[in-house]
Structure 1
C-alpha cells in the first residue's frame, strides 16, 4: 500500500502552505483509500537541532561505507554516537517508509524556514536512498517570484530544494506555489489581489491532480 509522509513548516497555523498541504492530503486519501498517512508539524513538534555528535554520525557513516540502516546501527553503537542516532533514526525510518513526501513550506527570507532546514540537517546522511520516492513541495510566497517577475532572481527556495533532493538522487519532484499571499492583507499589494486569487486557485487544482497521480504505479515485471 502507498505511504505518504506530510511535513508542515509554516509558523502560521492558517498559512496558505498548510492549506495546500491539507488539500493534497484530502485528495490523496480519496485516491488511495488503502494508503498510510504520517504527519509531522515541524513547528508544533520541532526536530532537535544537530550537534557535534550528529555531525560525527555523518562522518563515521562515510568513513565506514554505510549503505543502510543496519550498518548505521552498528556504527552508531559507539557510546558517543548512540544518543544522536536515537534521535535521528526514527525520522529517517519515517522518510524511508514513504513513497511520497509532501512538504508545506512558506518562503522566509527568500528560502526555507529554520524548522524545515533543521529537519533536513537531521535526516540527511550520505547513503540516504531516496531515488525511488516522489516529493511535492507546496510553497506560499508573500510576493511574486515566478519566471519573468522582477524578483525572480530572489527565489532561492526552489533551486535550493531541487539541489538538495538531487544530491539524494530524488529526481521525481514537483513544486506548487501560491504567490502574492500578502495581497489580501497588505494595502500596497491590493492591486495584485486578482493575481493572488488566480495563483491560489491554480495551486489547488495542481495539488488535486498530483494527489491522484502519486505515487506512480511500479512498472510490471
Structure 2
C-alpha cells in the first residue's frame, strides 16, 4: 500500500497549513487504514543546518561517482561524518520509503520556512532522483501571490520548491495548493479582504479533498 510521509513546517501550532495537511492526512488514512504513515514536525524538532562533515560526505560521493543512497554510508569514514550521517539517515530513510510526500509550508518572507530549507539541505545529495514519488505542498500566505496578483513576482516559495523538485530530484508529480490572505485574520488593515480569504480557504479545503480522491483513483 502507498506510504505517506507528512511534514509540517509552520511555527504556529494552529496554522492554516497544518490544518490542511491534517485534513489531507486524515482523508488519506481513511481511504487506506492499513497503509503506512509517517509524521515529522520540522518546527518542533528542527533539523540542524548542514556542516563541514556533511560537505565532505557530499564531495566524496561526487569523487567516487556514488549515486545509490544505499551506498552513501561507504563515505562515512570519520567520527565527524558519522555524527553528520546520524542526522541525515533517518530523514533520508523516511523520504526513500515514501510514495507520497506531503509538506505543509507557510510562506515566510516570500520563501519557505528555514526549517524546511534545512530539511531539504540535509537530504539532498548529488544526482539524486525521487522520480516516481509524488509531492504535495500545501501552503498559507499572508497576502495574495497567485497568478495575476500584484505580488505574484515575489512568490519565491512555490517557484523554488517546484523548480527544485523537478530540477534536482526529477520529480514529475508535484501538486501545490495554497490559502491566500491569511493575514486578514490578524491585520485590521486587511479587514476588507476577509471575505476573499475565506473564499480561498474554502477552495483549498475542497481542493484537498479532490486531490486525495484523485491520487487514490490514479
TM norm structure 2: 0.95
Shift of 1:110: 0.1
Matches within 5 A, 1:203-214: 203-214=204-215
Match of 2:116 in 1: 116
Show the counterpart of 2:69. 69
* Corresponding residue pairs, total: 217
Structure-1 separation of matches of 2:186 and 2:155: 22
Name 1:194's counterpart in structure 2. Answer: 195
Q: Please state if 1:150 is matched with 2:150.
A: yes
Deviates more, 1:33-42 or 1:93-102: 33-42
For 1:69-218, list aligned pairs within 5 A.
Answer: 69-166=69-166, 167-214=168-215
Structure 1: how far apart are the matches of 2:133 and 2:213? 16
Query: Which whole-Å CA distance do the structure 2 matches of 1:184 and 1:81 have between them?
Result: 45
Task: Using the TM superposition, name which of 186-195 and 172-181 deviates more.
Answer: 186-195
Cα deviation, residue 31, structure 1:
1.6
Structure 2: runs of 5+ lacking an equivalent: none
- Cα RMSD over matched residues? 1.3
Structure 1 runs of 4+ aligned residues shifted over 6 Å read: none
Gaps of 5+ in 1: none
Q: Secondary structure at the match of 2:153?
A: helix
Say if 1:2 and 1:215, in contact at 8 Å, map to a contact too: no
Please give the alpha-carbon distance, in whole angstroms, between the structure 2 residues aligned to 1:151 and 1:107: 13
Report which stretch shifted further, 126-135 or 144-153: 126-135
CA distance in 1, matches of 2:12, 2:39: 17
Query: Is residue 8–residue 104 contact of structure 1 (8 Å, CA) maintained in 2?
Result: yes
Flag the structure with more relative contact order, 1 or 2, with Cα contacts below 8 A and sequence separation at least 6. 1
1:11-53 deviation digits (Å, cap 9, x = unpaired): 0001111011111011111122221110011011111221110
- CA–CA distance in 2 between the matches of 1:215 and 1:5? 15
